[in-house]
Amino acid sequence: MIEKVTDQAERPDPEVKTTPRRRFSAKEKLRILDEADACIGPGEIGALVRREGIYSSYLSRWRRARDCGQLDGLGVKKRGPKQAADQGLTEEIVSLRRENKRLRARLKQAETIIDVQKKLSQMLGVELSVQESIESE
């Protein structure tokens, strides 16, 4: 009778290992394209492609992008909102919040004064015609 071996060490790992995709900056693309354009002998482009670890289709795609001018101004760009624009808006927001707080304090003070005037006029029995016209508006 044949015995089955269930030892995990003998079996290969079925998990497929993924390698992260390499990203090329515009500077790297232009450098590789310059090297590819300088290749004149047979097999030199193939050697370049193997050395850089890229496909030959990358070269044609990058050449098209270069010819359209898409690689000219490219470089490492920081993601997210621009700092200069944010700084101006942030300063304006801080200024407006400060002014809003100051105006709310003045409004609260004015309302307190009006309440005191109302109570005083009621105690003295005096009518405030200005106040009535303000309230009716």
**What residue spans define the domains of the chain?**
26-68, 108-137
Interaxial angle between packed helices 44-52 and 56-68, expressed in degrees from 0 to 180 and rounded to the nearest 10: 90
- Token pair 């015609």: residue: 129
The single-letter DSSP state of residue 22 is: P
pLDDT of residue 82: 65
Q: Which two tokens stand for residue 84?
A: 């200069």
Assessment of whether the complete model's pTM goes beyond 0.85: no
pLDDT of residue 64 exceeding 80, the answer is yes
Contact criterion met (CB below 8 Å) for 69 and 38: no
pLDDT tens digits, 3-61: 555 555 577 666 756 666 778 888 888 899 999 999 888 889 989 989 888 888 999 99
Q: Which two tokens stand for residue 88?
A: 């101006």
